[in-house]
Amino acid sequence: MTEGAKTHTSSAAEAAEIWKQWFGTSAETWSALLAGSKGIPVNPYILYDIWARSAGEALKRMKADASEVNEVWKQWIGAWQQGLGVGGEQPGCPAPWLEILEETRNKILAGGAMSQDPFTWFLQWYEVTSEMWAKAVGDFMGTEQFMEAASQSLESLTRIIGTLRRTNEAYFSNLQLATRSDIARVAGLVVALEEKVDRFEDAFDDFTDVSARTAPHDPVSTIEERLVQVESKLETLSATLGKIEAALEQGNRLDQLEDKLDSILAALARGEAENSLAIVKSTGAPRRLSRTKSARQPKASEPLSG
Amino acid sequence: MIDRHSMPAASDSESTLQKLRLGMHIMLEGARIETGRTPRAVIWSKNKARLYRYAPTAQKRFAVPILLVYALINRPYILDLLPGSSLVEYLVGQGFDVYLLDWGIPGDEDSDLGFEHYLFDYLARAVKRMLSFSRSREFTLLGYCMGGTMSAMYAALFPDQPLRNLVLLASPIDFTPEATGLYGLWTSARYFNPHQMVEALGNIPGELIDLGNRLVKPVANFVGPYVTMWERIAHDRPLDSWLAVNKWVSDGIPFPGAAFRQWISDFYQQNKLVKGEIELRGRRVDLTHICCPVLVIAGQQDHICTLPQAEAAMRLLGSQDKEFFTLDAGHVGLLTSPNARKKLWPRLWNWLESRSL
């Protein structure tokens, strides 16, 4: 026997065993649910069988006398109760379920005549019964009993599905056919590649953001820096020119002052010359020293030497 | 799909038969209707995730965009169900810049994705893309259901991000058994082994998640919807909203195995979020790090996220500006009921208006 065949056979045996366990668990669950079973194992489908038989009876009666819908409803409920053990013919139904049926019948009959229109009849039935059923089902689903049964069922189902998947994988693998896991692996590689591309994109975005905020070697910022330097130099130059201008102004003032001094000196020289002439006229002897002095005094219009 | 508006006038018996045909057709074929009709565009994608931006229908009035984050189960079009019954359409019409992160439908290759992947690799990147696209400096995060739990974890893990406002809509934070009801009982460590399930199934099928949600109130969830359907058919009432909601309820997606394992074990069984014991990539999720304004919304009839589960955010988050608002609605009714349109949406807009300029 080949490895694949052995695997297939063992998987099939495992599946059959799991099916037996599931059926047994379900039978015990329903038995516990009915509570009055007193340890007698119950066929899980017995309730559906009872319902189908009672519904058939009710339909026959409705066909016979369709005008008395309320009466038919009472008879249908009665059929249910009889089927579920009020008459002692079947294993007992828990009291709460019988109470629900009783309450349902009373509420429907208290609401007046039921409509013959099937839609309206169905709506009336739902409005009357939904709250009770919801409460009953909700209470039951919160019990430890239900939780244990549901947990076991889920565990069995999970094991069955897991086994089926492994069996199918092995089967298709032996046939050299691509399985879901093979395709998933290839898809995973594509996803991983996309993740790498995303990381490149993120790094590029971060680089762009950082460059936009701080770029010391960026030509634009370099030009900006140079412009700032040029501006500062221009300011220095402007300040220097101002100083020079001030100095020139001072120089002009000095020139003016010098001119005035020259005028004063010229005036003094003329005065001295007139004094000398007056003396000469009074004494008759030239005074060489004064002329020599006056000859040596530069004229105001002559440029300063050096 | 049978269009009963185009059916000719009929006698009573024919009318009854037509109604019966319509109802049976829906029960056998399932609810079918076009949903998620608000125009949108994909601005970013990763793996199966898509970041959508909804086209503005009114002049943009608010500088702070809104990022909607939904759960990892079911599809996010519950936030944009039908024209006139769409939170997205409402917000866009009020002048908000609205984005939605759709996680997508995970495949077998995504069974190892846990909350750390979704928060660090998906949501964080989506936020970055949204801020870049919208050219805004801050954003509002609005999480619904598990999406709200994930949004709170994101806000706690990334306090340096420019999160302006946080809205938690029907988001469970506290998972103590007394607060979780039947969910807590069924997922207790005594009866439920998530590791075994993930090992056998990989991703948890959407049908199984849906079954678990419906079993919390089996009569109302298995029988009730069809009673409502038949009642509407019988009295010739509009069916569109019923079809849309039931389409969404049945449109479950697989729950990635690793995330499912964390959700049941760390949240439901050990309640680590409240205790501050959740660590993702070496960083502890500390809800006290959340300091932005927070609006917590819960449904009084919500049996999936009960009032205590949602209200726990008020005492655990570190924000000073916190508000708790309840509505007489169930988990889905918070988005789809007429009460939600009349009371919740205007309240949400009112709260966001002064905090989104």
- Domain membership of residue A120 (yes or no) is yes
The answer to which of A47-51, A267-271, B22-26, B192-196 has the lowest mean pLDDT is A47-51
Domain end residue (candidates: A174, A203, A227)? A174
Chain A residues with CB under 8 Å of B233 CB are: 119
Nearest residue of chain B to residue A134 (CA atoms) = B219
CB contact under 8 A, A162 and B201: yes
CB contact under 8 A, B217 and A155: no
Q: Are residues A49 and A95 in the same domain?
A: yes
CB contact under 8 A, A191 and B109: yes
Buried b (16+ CB within 10 A) or exposed e, A146-170: bbebbbbebbbbbbbebbebebeeb
Q: What are the contacts of B186-192 at 24+ separation with CB within 8 A?
A: B186/A147, B186/A150, B186/B212, B186/B215, B187/B264, B187/B268, B187/B269, B188/B268, B188/B269, B189/B269, B190/A147, B191/A147, B191/A148, B191/A150, B191/A151, B192/A151, B192/A154, B192/B264, B192/B269
Nearest of B243, B233, B247, B245 to residue B5 by alpha carbon: B233
In three-state secondary structure terms, B305 is: coil
- At residue A31, what is the residue type? S
- Domain membership of residue A304 (yes or no) is no
Query: Once rounded to an integer, what is the mean pLDDT over residues A95-100?
Result: 63
Q: How far is CA A86 from CA A70, A82, B164, B296, in A?
A: 21, 5, 67, 53
Residue B37 CB partners (closer than 8 Å, separation 6+): B80, B82, B83, B86
- Domain membership of residue A303 (yes or no) is no
Instruction: Give strand pairing partners of B324.
Output: B296
- Tell whether B186 is within 8 A of chain A (Cβ): yes
- Tell whether A126 is within 8 A of chain B (Cβ): yes
Query: Domain range holding A147?
Result: 3-174
Q: Work out the mean pLDDT of chain A and round it to a whole number.
A: 72
CB contact under 8 A, B218 and A161: no
Q: How big is chain B, counted in residues?
A: 357
CB contact under 8 A, B200 and A159: yes
pLDDT at A39 exceeding the cut of 60: no
Q: How far is CA A195 from CA A70, A136, A152, B125, in A?
A: 68, 51, 40, 11
Residue B159 phi, psi dihedral angles, 5° rounding: -70, -15
Chain A residues with CB under 8 Å of B224 CB are: 130
pLDDT at B223 exceeding the cut of 90: no
Q: Are residues A83 and A42 in the same domain?
A: yes
Residue A272 CB neighbours (<10 A): 16
CB contact under 8 A, A159 and B199: no
- Tell whether B355 is within 8 A of chain A (Cβ): no
Q: Are residues A36 and A66 in the same domain?
A: yes
- The pTM (predicted TM-score) of the whole model is 0.71
| A117, A165, A194 member nearest B46 (Cβ) | A194
Split into its structural domains, chain A has a count of: 3
| A137, A161, A195 member nearest B201 (Cβ) | A161
Q: Are residues A102 and A241 in the same domain?
A: no
Question: CA triplet A67, A73, A76: central angle to 5 degrees?
Answer: 125
- Tell whether A203 is within 8 A of chain B (Cβ): no
Instruction: Give strand pairing partners of B82.
Output: B85
- Tell whether B219 is within 8 A of chain A (Cβ): yes
CB contact under 8 A, A155 and B220: no
Q: Which two three-digit tokens encode residue A262?
A: 């020259």
Q: Examine the predicted complex and report whether its ipTM is higher than 0.95.
A: no
Nearest of B254, B250, B253 to residue B202 by alpha carbon: B254
Nearest of B260, B212, B253, B251 to residue B111 by alpha carbon: B260
Q: Are residues A71 and A106 in the same domain?
A: yes
Tell which B residues from 110 to 139 touch A, by Cβ distance under 8 Å: 110-111, 121, 125, 128, 132
B140, B167 contact by CB (below 8 A)? yes
DSSP state of B322: E
Strand B85-86 and strand B80-82: the pairing is antiparallel
CB contact under 8 A, B227 and A123: yes
Q: Are residues A119 and A19 in the same domain?
A: yes
Q: How far is CA A225 from CA A34, A134, A222, A229, A239, in A?
A: 91, 79, 5, 6, 21
- Tell whether B197 is within 8 A of chain A (Cβ): yes
pLDDT in tens, B273-315: 999 999 999 999 999 999 999 999 999 999 899 999 999 999 9
* DSSP of A130-173: HHHHHHHHHHHHTSHHHHHHHHHHHHHHHHHHHHHHHHHHHHHH
Angle between helices B12-29 and A118-141 (to 10 degrees): 30
A158, B196 contact by CB (below 8 A)? yes
pLDDT at B13: 76
Rounded CA separation A166/A162 (Å) = 6
Q: Are residues A154 and A270 in the same domain?
A: no
CB contact under 8 A, B47 and A138: no
Q: Are residues A201 and A229 in the same domain?
A: no
- Tell whether B220 is within 8 A of chain A (Cβ): yes
- Domain membership of residue A305 (yes or no) is no
Chain A residues with CB under 8 Å of B109 CB are: 184-185, 187-188, 191
pLDDT in tens, B160-209: 999 999 999 999 999 998 889 888 888 999 999 999 999 999 999 999 99
pLDDT at A231 exceeding the cut of 90: no
pLDDT at A98 exceeding the cut of 60: yes
Q: Are residues A229 and A203 in the same domain?
A: no
| A138, A161, A180 member nearest B108 (Cβ) | A180
Q: Are residues A121 and A233 in the same domain?
A: no
**Quick one: what percent of chain B has pLDDT higher than 70?**
97
Buried b (16+ CB within 10 A) or exposed e, B117-149: bbbbbbbbbbbbbbbeebebebbbbbbbbbbbb
Query: Once rounded to an integer, what is the mean pLDDT over residues B229-244?
Result: 90
Report the catalytic residues of B.
Answer: 145, 302, 331
- Domain membership of residue A301 (yes or no) is no
Rounded CA separation B105/B107 (Å) = 7
CB contact under 8 A, A155 and B193: yes
Kindly report the three-state secondary structure assignment for every residue of B13-53.
HHHHHHHHHHHHHHHHHCCCCCCCCCCEEEEEEECCEEEEE
Chain A residues with CB under 8 Å of B128 CB are: 205
CB contact under 8 A, B200 and A165: yes
Q: Which two three-digit tokens encode residue B234?
A: 């019988």
pLDDT at A299: 46
- At residue A204, what is the residue type? F
- Domain membership of residue A306 (yes or no) is no
Chain B residues with CB under 8 Å of A155 CB are: 193, 196
The answer to which of A52-56, A185-189, A295-299, B332-336 has the lowest mean pLDDT is A295-299
Nearest of A83, A285, A151, A275 to residue B189 by alpha carbon: A151
Q: Which CATH architecture has domain B33-353?
A: 3-Layer(aba) Sandwich (3.40)
B143, B69 contact by CB (below 8 A)? yes
| B109, B215, B230 member nearest A119 (Cβ) | B230
What stretches of chain A show up as alpha helix (H) in DSSP? 3-34, 46-64, 69-83, 95-110, 118-141, 144-174, 180-213, 219-283, 288-296
Q: Are residues A86 and A122 in the same domain?
A: yes
Chain B residues with CB under 8 Å of A104 CB are: none
Tell which A residues from 265 to 304 touch B, by Cβ distance under 8 Å: none
- Domain membership of residue A269 (yes or no) is yes
Q: Are residues A191 and A226 in the same domain?
A: no
Query: Once rounded to an integer, what is the mean pLDDT over residues A101-114?
Result: 65
Domain positions in chain B: 33-353
Count residue pairs from A and B with Cβ separation < 8 A: 86
- Domain membership of residue A157 (yes or no) is yes
Q: How big is chain A, counted in residues?
A: 306
CA distance A57 to chain B (A): 25
